[in-house]
Amino acid sequence: MDEGELMRDDIFGVLYDAGACSVGTTPAMPVPAGEADGLDDWLERGYNAGMEYMHNWRAVRLDPRLLLEGARTVISIAFPYQASRGIVASYALGDDYHEVLRGVLSEAVSTLKERYGGEYRICVDSAPILERYWAERCGVGVRGRNGLISVPGVGSRVFLAEIVTTLELPEAKYEISDRSHISDMSGVMSRSCKGFCPEGCRRCLDACPAGALQDNGRVDARCCLSYLTIEHRGDWDSVGERAMKTPAGRNTLFGCELCLRACPMNSVPAQSREDKVLSRLRPRPEIEALRGEDVLDMTQPEFSRIFRGSPIKRAKLAGLQRNARNMSGGEEE
């Protein structure tokens, strides 16, 4: 191995030790025309619903070099989280992943600075960057028909993060050899969902209760239960109301992961995925046991206490109680 490969592998080791389940690198460069996740078409169709901020920072989204002066490399990182089947999306059962991942990655970056110098920009849903595009390009995983990145041996229950750095690292996709702490990471996967999803599989599409998931993996947020229960403020319009009155909508307090549950790529043994979940990302018993009726009479102080440091705070008490009222009379799946 040359010096660059040794440095890359050491960096990968630092990130795996921080809790990552997959890591990859690729040169920082503009996203080629036609490969931008259909961003413009998605916006033109109004699939962003009330997320007007998605119109902002287009140039930055398409060129990660604008995030950090002198950027040479994008490092994509996946961290696993634990599956659950309650009325709260699994990813939200633990501490807020934005804070948790930024914390562990900040420590990792401090180590890298000591060893190699350079500048770094950590992105955990905190910067306008096309996360799934870079995860695929770095070989971290492959996008399925549900639009999510699936990591071999882990599935699609992963958080994505990126480090943009001025270090120049060789491109790598699961190419760390002779590292016992890197398992199920050999070989380069196809970047096409057709080469990853089982032939003819439409389980995720069929599982989407209001047709929010499109055949090309894009999501129409206007009828997506996750958007409607988390991001949307106030009353739902007629499209959102129809989605939330479906049996699945009646059984949703915060977020939706029906497409994840349906995906055969997530049928990997839980042990192989959950052993590596960071402790702060594991479910909190009080949140995992939450029922809709528990929320209806919740006071603001109770909300603040129960969801301190939780991503559920994003919905605010008013939004969560709106969702709980909608659940009245709903049946479990």
Mean pLDDT by 10 residues, the chain (333 residues): 88 95 95 80 93 93 96 97 93 97 98 97 93 93 90 91 96 49 34 58 94 90 97 96 96 95 82 78 95 95 97 96 87 40
Predicted pLDDT at 190: 34
Check residue 197 and give its pLDDT.
75
Same domain as 229, residue 123: no
Instruction: Verify that 154 and 303 share a domain, yes or no.
Output: no
Specify whether 73 is located in the same domain as 147.
yes
pLDDT of the residue at 145: 87
pLDDT of residue 302: 97
Task: Looking at the structure, tell me whether residues 39 and 173 fall in a common domain.
Answer: yes
- 90: tokens are 């699994």
Options 2, 37, 63, 125, the catalytic residue: 125
The pLDDT of residue 177 = 36
* Per-residue buried b or exposed e for 68-81, using 16+ beta carbons within 10 Å of the residue's own CB: beebbbbbbbbbbb
Q: Which helix H or strand E contains 230, and what residues bound it?
A: helix 225-230
Convert the pLDDT of each residue in 258-306 to its tens digit. Answer: 999 999 888 876 555 667 899 999 999 999 999 999 999 999 999 999 9
Residue 88 lies in a domain: yes
For residues 175 and 225, state if they share a domain. Answer: no
173 & 227 share domain? no
Spatial distance between the Cα atoms of 81 and 90, rounded to a whole number of angstroms? 8
- Picking from 162, 195, 228, the residue at the C-terminal end of a domain is 195
| Domain span holding position 31 | 3-195
Residue 206 falls in the annotated catalytic set: no
Domain membership of residue 270 (yes or no) is no
**Which of 150, 172, 195 delimits the end of a domain?**
195
pLDDT of residue 54: 92
The count of domains in the chain is 2
pTM score, whole prediction: 0.90
Same-domain pairing of 256 and 131: no
Task: With respect to residue 271, please indicate whether it lies within any of the assigned structural domains.
Answer: no
For 231-245, b where at least 16 C-beta lie within 10 A, e where not — what string?
bbeeebeeebeebbe
